[in-house]
Amino acid sequence: MLENQAVFHTDETLDDLILGKMKLIQPAHGYRFSLDAVLLAHFPILARVKQAVDLGTGNGIIPILLAARDAEIRIMGIEIQEAMVDRARRSVQFNHLENRIEIIPADIREINNILPGGKAELVLSNPPFWKNGEGHVNNNMEEAIARHELKLNLEELVSQGAYLLCPGGRMAIIHRADRLQEIIGIFTDHKLYPRRLRMVHPFIDRNAKLILLEGQKSRPGNLSVLPPLVIYESTGEYCEEIKQIYREK
């Protein structure tokens, strides 16, 4: 294994993911992954998935978590920000996953000019939650691009996800619950028919803040609404399901 000082810089951290003994390089100050990525990486069913694509992979958290879940799956991570591409590639190297994970520097809006369509069984994305013009835009450009639709909007994301999928392939995203109606409309416009939905609540007595949604390309069918996921049993105490994700690894 490479020495730590050869892997991460003085303005970065090397963080233990706990899951699968994997580690991730992140900026000490800047965009760092949250529980959202962990939830999304554990949402899709991976049976019969050989090729997955993570759109907007950031520092590479979702490809690494998918690799920890399934020893055979191959993952491409697409990212527009050069610094994130560099960190993601170094994390892949540190975890000895070069033969399974490829990090591609690219604008998702132009992915149809870079990758062939109709090949992936699974596309995932933890996209910017906020539209351009909504809320406060972070002064840190990495965080701003990751959280606001400055470089990519939801329509563009779903369009390219549908392009990458084979017939019957699935696209899974995590997003704001209050945008669910909009998301379902965009999915359906691109022949991604919603098949699995899970509402994510911070506490059992609070409204859902997030949704996990999976749509299947060119396969209309019934929507399965899964039991809600409640993140916290009490303040600072994760629910048993979240604890189990880590405990199993």
Mean pLDDT score of the chain: 91
- Predicted pLDDT of residue 166: 98
Kindly report the pTM of this predicted structure: 0.92
- Predicted pLDDT of residue 32: 87
- Predicted pLDDT of residue 248: 54
Give the per-residue SS3 of the chain.
CCCHHHHCCCCEEEEECCHHHCEEEEECCCCCCCHHHHHHHCCCCCCCCCEEEEECCCCCHHHHHHHHHCCCCEEEEEECCHHHHHHHHHHHHHCCCCCCEEEEECCHHHHHHCCCCCCEEEEEECCCCECCCCCCCCCCHHHHHHHECCCCCHHHHHHHHHHHEEEEEEEEEEEEHHHHHHHHHHHHHCCEEEEEEEEEECCCCCCCCEEEEEEEECCCCCCEECCCEECEEECCEECHHHHHHHHCC
pLDDT over threshold 80, residue 19:
no
Among the ranges given (2-16, 48-62, 95-109), the one the predictor scored with the smallest mean pLDDT: 2-16
Domain extent listing, the chain: 4-247
Could you read off the pLDDT of 189-218 as tens digits, one per residue? 999 999 999 999 999 999 999 999 999 999
- Predicted pLDDT of residue 135: 75
**What class does CATH assign to 4-247?**
alpha beta
Could you read off the pLDDT of 149-179 as tens digits, one per residue? 788 999 999 999 999 999 999 999 999 999 9
- Predicted pLDDT of residue 3: 47
Could you read off the pLDDT of 40-96 as tens digits, one per residue? 999 999 999 999 999 999 999 999 999 999 999 999 999 999 999 999 999 999 999
